[in-house]
């Protein structure tokens, strides 16, 4: 009986990239926004359908962009962390000039 050779990937946490800028997570998030739009549309007056759609598209694109300060996370994660952050906890911020001198 012949044993099968399976290729084991070195890194399993890499996100699935659909094209140059779009990842699978981004696509699923935008599809979820489309579903939210379809559910909410009957409750919105007819005059506001187009502005609501434009708002959702802009808001969705804003939430999936990656900030330059932390390119591993998306803006939705940044907003989430800002909302759940404990306000009474002190967080020391290192000065960029001082941190570059030590390295």
Partners of residue 17 on adjacent β-strands: 23
Calculate mean pLDDT across residues 1-18: 74
- Going by pLDDT thresholds of 50, 70 and 90, the confidence category of residue 101 is low
Q: How far apart, in whole angstroms, are the C-alpha atoms of residue 41 and residue 29?
A: 18
pLDDT of residue 88: 79
Q: How far apart, in whole angstroms, are the C-alpha atoms of residue 33 and residue 26?
A: 11
pLDDT of residue 49: 94
pLDDT tens, 29-86?
A: 989 999 999 999 999 999 999 999 999 999 998 888 888 888 888 888 888 888 888 7
pLDDT tens, 10-26?
A: 776 777 788 877 888 88
Hey, is 8 helix, strand or coil? coil
pLDDT of residue 100: 53
């Amino acid at each position: 009986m012949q044993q099968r050779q399976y290729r084991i990937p070195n890194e399993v946490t890499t996100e699935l990239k659909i094209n140059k800028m779009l990842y699978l997570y981004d696509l699923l998030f935008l599809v979820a926004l489309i579903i939210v739009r379809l559910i909410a549309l009957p409750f919105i007056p007819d005059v506001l359908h187009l502005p609501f759609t434009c708002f959702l598209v802009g808001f969705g694109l804003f939430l999936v962009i990656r900030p330059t300060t932390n390119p591993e996370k998306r803006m939705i994660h940044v907003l989430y962390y800002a909302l759940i952050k404990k306000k009474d906890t002190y967080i020391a911020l290192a000065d960029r000039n001082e941190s570059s001198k030590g390295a």
